[in-house]
Amino acid sequence: MVKYDRFPGGKRYALTFSYDDGGAQDRRLVELFNKYGMKCTFNVMSSSLKNENGKGIKFNEVKSLYEGHEIAVHTVNHLHLERMSPTDQYTEIFEDKKVLESACGDIVRGMAYPFGTYNSDTLNVMDVCGIVYGRTNVPTNSFLLPENFKIWNPTCHHNECEPMVKRFEYNATKAPWRAGGVLYIWGHSYELDNDDAPTNWERFEAILERLSALKDNVWYATNIEIYDYTQALKSLRRSADGTTLYNPTDTLVCISNNDEPVDIPPMTKVRINL
């Protein structure tokens, strides 16, 4: 039986993080993610990059600080998009994308909604702007990926992640019958400065340490890497008898055949015995 149930390396689980607002504490957070080899998507509002006197992240710092991670749109001014005209939403999204791209030198294709909110105009404007996914603030408390990536609900906020981390550890190491999936944690780095919060810096690092022990079973990826991988899987072509698969994309994909991982390299035809 062929299943599309793998990530790169034949892994059945992935882990991703999404942090908003680009505050000064991102510097400490990036260090932590780098220490444990994990990947995060940082959602940055470009108006904050222009504040030369504040402690926040500066425009010229973006490229080196977030190296190896993903930068994504969080709009220019962090307003409620659903209360704006489509034209103003366009300006908020597209101008942010432009500034972030000139800061990081890459093509920015993702987004987290300010306050987690949007309307149907937002989804149309994203198409015009080349933004392929949008993250909300609604927790799924599951490891499921969305059918529509423009409404990408995360697993949980970091303050409520403890039970989900525990379940993820169990599923990834002790429960091969479980379906696999993605642990998606979001938050704001400045929240970790709050000693009274359920998750402060020390507790967060302890969680990363636990998750780093799963590296043989878990793919650490940015949001856009997970999006692109999922699209590549969906693009696979398969013969009627099921034995020939062709990967027309530039992304190596991995599937399972009778529970064994099978790599299908980019632009390559692979034959399998069912």
Q: Name which of 80 and 234 has its Cβ closer to Zn ion.
A: 80
- Whose CB is nearest to Zn ion? 20
In the block, residue with structure tokens 């027309």? 248
Give the separation between CA 107 and CA 103, rounded to whole angstroms: 11
Q: Which residues of 37-53 are buried (b: 16+ CB within 10 A; e: fewer)?
A: ebbbbbbbbbbbbeeee
Among 6, 16, 21, 90, binds Zn ion (CB under 5 A): 21
Give the separation between CA 85 and CA 79, rounded to whole angstroms: 12
Q: What does the DSSP 8-state code read for residue 21?
A: S
> Contact 141/165 with Cβ under 8 angstroms?
no
Give the shortest CB-256-to-Zn ion separation in angstroms.
38
Size of the site for Zn ion (CB under 5 A): 2
Distances (CA, A) of 235 to 59, 121, 151, 200, 221: 37, 27, 21, 41, 20
Q: Name which of 22 and 180 has its Cβ closer to Zn ion.
A: 22
Show Cβ contacts of residue 177 under 8 Å, excluding neighbours closer than 6 positions: none
Q: Name which of 134 and 180 has its Cβ closer to Zn ion.
A: 134
Give the shortest CB-113-to-Zn ion separation in angstroms.
8
Distance of CA 177 to the CA centre of its chain: 25
Give the shortest CB-115-to-Zn ion separation in angstroms.
7
Give the separation between CA 77 and CA 123, rounded to whole angstroms: 18
Q: Name which of 114 and 146 has its Cβ closer to Zn ion.
A: 114
Q: Name which of 94 and 186 has its Cβ closer to Zn ion.
A: 186
In the region spanning residues 1 to 20, those forming contacts with Zn ion, defined by CB under 5 A, are: 20
Give the shortest CB-183-to-Zn ion separation in angstroms.
21
Interface segment toward Zn ion; rule CB under 5 A; list 21-29, 138-146, 149-157, 201-209: 21-29
Stated as kind and residue range, the H or E segment containing 229 is helix 223-235
Give the shortest CB-21-to-Zn ion separation in angstroms.
5
Give the shortest CB-133-to-Zn ion separation in angstroms.
16
Q: Name which of 20 and 191 has its Cβ closer to Zn ion.
A: 20
Tokens read off for 179 = 């379906």
Q: Is residue 26 close enough to count as binding Zn ion by CB under 5 A?
A: no
Q: In the complex, which residues of this chain contact Zn ion (CB under 5 A)?
A: 20-21
